[in-house]
Structures are given as structure tokens and as C-alpha cells.
Amino acid sequence: MSISKKLHARSESKCELCASDEDLIVYEVPPTSKGNEDDSILACSNCIHQIENPDAMIVNHWRCLNDSMWSEITAVQVVAWRMLTRLKAEGWPQDLLDMLYLDEESLEWAKATGEGVEEDEHKIVHRDVNGVVLQAGDSVVLIKDLKVKGSSLIAKQGTAVRRISLDRDNAEYIEGKVGPTQIVIITKYVKKI
Ligand SMILES: [Zn+2]
């Protein structure tokens, strides 16, 4: 039986990602495909086009992964992981990723094309004194008196700073307003509230 026939039988002639039955093609999941059915999925040309062209991604199309990520076929899980990783900034794909369990070997395969790697390496995470992750828009309280650079102002311990923003280049700094004054604050002197 040809690989195409095997995949049609496995998938009941549906895209293994979005369940479309149009324009189905054998997609060899890179980079290690040996051209056998375990390393390949049957997918529609629409899905494959978006996999191969990150700029062409239609976010809502990939809601289909809600169902297909639960496939028992590792190659499908791997592609689901890659697409969810690519889209994780949207929020809901991150929630699905958190539920998608891949064993070590499969995860290595999933990461092999470099999806998501760049982001993780450069990602700057801001944490408060207790190690709690801070995000733009959070409110914090100062845990000690801070002298505000370039002014005579002292921001008192216990002062709440609302709607902080994050220094994109440095995990140690956030900014926020104390009274009318925008100040830079070192993350280890704040606690999230
Ligand atoms: Zn599809």
C-alpha cells in the first residue's frame, strides 16, 4: 500500500489538522521524515500553505487544533505543537499548549525546526521581590522608600504604583507613576498587588 493510501485510511480521507476533505496532500513532517506514514500526515493544501508560510497564518483557522491536538498520531501532535507555539501570543493557543503533553522524544522532534526557540531565548521576564511574574498593566506596591532620581521626591514604602509598564530590554526595571511623576523602579523593590 502506498503511503498516501495508508494515510487516507488512517485519516478517513480528512485533513488530520482541520478535518477538511479537500485538496489532501501527504505532508512529510520535517526535518526527520523518512517518508513513512509515522513521519507524515495527511493535510489539506490550506493547512500546509500556512505551515510553510508563517506570514500567511489565519489565526482562527487553527482553532481546529482544539480537536486535532488530541490525535494519537505523534506527527499530528508535533505539527499541532508547532502551530500553537507559533501563535501562542494570541492567548488561547498557549492554553492549549499547556494541555498538550509530548514525551521527550516527540518534543525534541517538535522543536527541531526551531519554532518558538528564538522567542524563548530573548524573552525577558520581569519578576517582583517574591518571584511573581509582572506584566504591563499590573499594579505593584513599593516595599521600601525609594529616592526618585533627578528629583527631591521620595516614593514611600507602601506606595501603590498602578498600571506599570515594563522595560523591554531589561528585566530589572519597570516604570510607573507615583503621583504625577513617571518613575523607573527596580523590580526587586516591588510586590505585585
Ligand atoms: Zn487542513
Distance 175 CA to ligand 1 centre (A): 44
Specify the pLDDT at position 162.
Answer: 92
Q: Identify the residue with better confidence: 152 or 127.
A: 127
**pLDDT tens digits for 68-117?**
999 999 999 999 999 999 999 999 999 999 999 999 999 999 998 888 76
Indicate whether 169 pLDDT > 60. Answer: yes
Mean pLDDT of 46-74: 96
Specify the pLDDT at position 168.
Answer: 83
Residue entry with cell 500567511 = 56
Distance 44 CA to ligand 1 centre (A): 4
List the grid coordinates of 85. 507555539
Q: Which residues neighbour ligand 1 (ion) by CB within 5 Å?
A: 15, 17-18, 20, 44, 47
**pLDDT tens digits for 2-11?**
999 999 999 9
Distance 12 CA to ligand 1 centre (A): 13
Distance 60 CA to ligand 1 centre (A): 12
Looking at the chain, the number of H-run helices and the number of E-run strands are: 7, 12
Q: Which of 37-51, 64-78, 106-120, 159-173 has the lowest mean pLDDT?
A: 106-120
Mean pLDDT of 161-169: 90
Distance 151 CA to ligand 1 centre (A): 60
Closest CA to 27 of 7, 41, 6, 10: 41
Specify the pLDDT at position 107.
Answer: 93
Report the amino acid identity of residue 63: R
Distance 25 CA to ligand 1 centre (A): 10
Distance 98 CA to ligand 1 centre (A): 22
